[in-house]
Amino acid sequence: MQVDKLAANAHSKQLKGWLSYAFASEVFVIVSLTLFLPICLEQFARDNGVLAPEKLQPCSSSNVESATESRCVVRLGWLWIDTASFSLYVYSISVALQALTVISMGGIADRPSYRKRLLLGFALLGASAAMLFLVLPSSSPIWFLSALLAVVANVGFGASVVAMNAYLPTLARGAPEVAAVPAEIDDTNAEEQHRVSQESDATGDIEQPLLPGTHTETPGARARYDAQLSIATSRISSLGIALGYGAGIALLLVALVPVTKLGGSTLSLRLAIGISGIWWAVFSIPAALWLPGGSVGEQTTDVDWSTRREIIASWKRLGAMLRWSEVKRLRNTFKYLAAWFLLSDGFTTITSTAVLFGKTTLHMQPSALILVGVLTPSAGILGALAWPVLQRRFGWTNLRVLVALVAMASAIPAYGCLGFLPFVRAARWGGLTTQGEMFALAVYFGSVYGAFQSYARAFYAELLPPGEEARWYGLFSITDKVSFLGPLVVGLIADGTGNIRYAFVFLVGMVWLAVPLLASVNVERGRRDARDYRWVRTGGNGFEGDGPTDR
């Protein structure tokens, strides 16, 4: 009983540490990555751009502000690019570098003694880059370094979240309701062993008794365990999303003061990004104290350790993971990853495109965009907490919830496409042609997106081979970070047409392409394949054999 109490206390402490990092890091996403950072980068470019096609008048001049149909371009090297596309291109570069980073760190993060160090190191790197926006004005001759800071901050965030997500399956397995199921199986085994022993004494037959400490797995016991694990994973993931969104809302309200007082100037946007970096750094301290991690002594006893060899091994392991033989063994995991590639790209691009559309086409003021930024995560909290309740009420599977959320999200770019219809333009309402519609869609999208993020992460955790969570969450992140394709295509559409609304057609198709893949995932088979999957290592860095072995 004392052991159970100690285990419960340890789990509670680790869970608080994990949630504290969600509380710290999600602020950067809500305040900076999806709202102020793209606006600030566009404003940096606009403050240094000129009006097309003459390319003589500065975009920041007062007479240009009233020219709502004017197009602002900025010169970088020998290229002239649209200022709205500038932030999209920067984001594309940052997520491409994120992918390279998380591939390299996958094997290191799977070592418990290094996972925490990676999380905190990348958190410090990202938070510091965000804070440096405080000292870089757009009037500086090196204003373009704002792109570098944005890239470093985004890479730091993405890499730290891979390490954070790697804790999720372990935390779910350690939840009291999940840990109680094996104990029930043990009790059942003890009763069964006693019954068999009595029958053997009565008949004189020799029966092999159940081995002490082993579990005779029955379909019912496995179903109970999987059900409890699924619920615990979704609950922890949803709580992390809700806390992170709550933190983001709090800081958005704080940022509203300088943005309003300074009239939405570039300085006010820089202040908002810098404050998000300070928040990120300060509230990561409880994670540093409570998350499990190895001591320095544990690190130095690893005589075979080599960062270079680990990085090379991570790339080799990625190549092995993507072999066709591996894909067939974990076909349902890879089906979900393919769907996740399209969905994460689509959802991320919907967010960034909507913000830029509101600023450049609907001409929304920064204070109005802040309100959009507050409404979206506020609805996200409700969505993250309400959908699990609805799921239990109606008995829906995680897969069914995800498909429903995807269908609901696709309605947003589809609604934006209505703006092409002549009668909608004539009515001057509908099809995302007014600022009021942006506020309503922010509430709608937030309620969907908050739940989607929670379920997408939790559902993937059920399809992972035990002991390789960081590596597979790295692949999850890579699939997510290939979302540089979406912003890149949207940027090309905006540059080629001069009208970012055309991107909505592309986004509808991208989101709906994922639905058949998502619906084809066999959850039970995927769980079983993941449990039976193992890659045997030799030494510290090599791999034994040419492929996985079955347990």
Q: What is the pLDDT of residues 13-60, one digit of tens each?
A: 899 999 999 999 989 988 888 778 988 898 898 888 888 777 778 887
CATH code (residue 518): 1.20.1250.20
Residue 302 lies in a domain: no
Domain extent, residue 232, equals 2-60+73-189+217-292+308-550
- Is pLDDT above 80 for 7? no
Torsion of CA 66, 67, 71, 75, to 10 degrees: -60
pLDDT of 474: 77
Measured between alpha carbons, how far is residue 529 from residues 397, 462, 520, 525 in Å? Answer: 19, 11, 16, 6
Is residue 512, in this structure, part of any structural domain at all? Answer: yes
297 lies in some domain: no
- Amino acid 31: pLDDT: 86
The pLDDT tens digits for 322-360 are 788 888 888 999 999 888 888 888 887 887 788 778 877
Q: Domain for residue 417, yes or no?
A: yes
Beta-bridge partner residues of 52: 71
Which residue, among 116, 100, 241, has the nearest Cα to 166 in the 3D structure? 116
Amino acid letter, 75? R
Residue 206 lies in a domain: no
Structure tokens at 252: 């958005």
DSSP code string of 386-420: HHHHHHHHHT--HHHHHHHHHHHHHHHHHHHHGGG
User: With bands split at pLDDT 50, 70 and 90, how would you rate the model's confidence at 213?
Assistant: very low
Q: How many domains does the chain have?
A: 1
More confident residue, 65 or 94: 94
Question: Does 8 map to a domain?
Answer: yes
* Domain-located, residue 141: yes
Structure confidence at residue 287 (pLDDT): 92
pTM of the model: 0.70
Question: What stretches of 112-175 show up as alpha helix (H) in DSSP?
Answer: 112-131, 145-166, 168-173
In a domain, 538, yes or no: yes
pLDDT digits 0-9 by tens, 135-173:
999 888 899 899 999 999 999 998 998 889 888 888 888
- Tell me what the mean pLDDT of segment 388-406 comes to: 83
Judged by average pLDDT, the poorest of 79-83, 276-280, 300-304, 463-467 is 300-304
- Residue 50's H or E segment, with its range, is strand 50-52
Task: Report the mean per-residue pLDDT for the chain.
Answer: 78
pLDDT score of 97 more than 70: yes
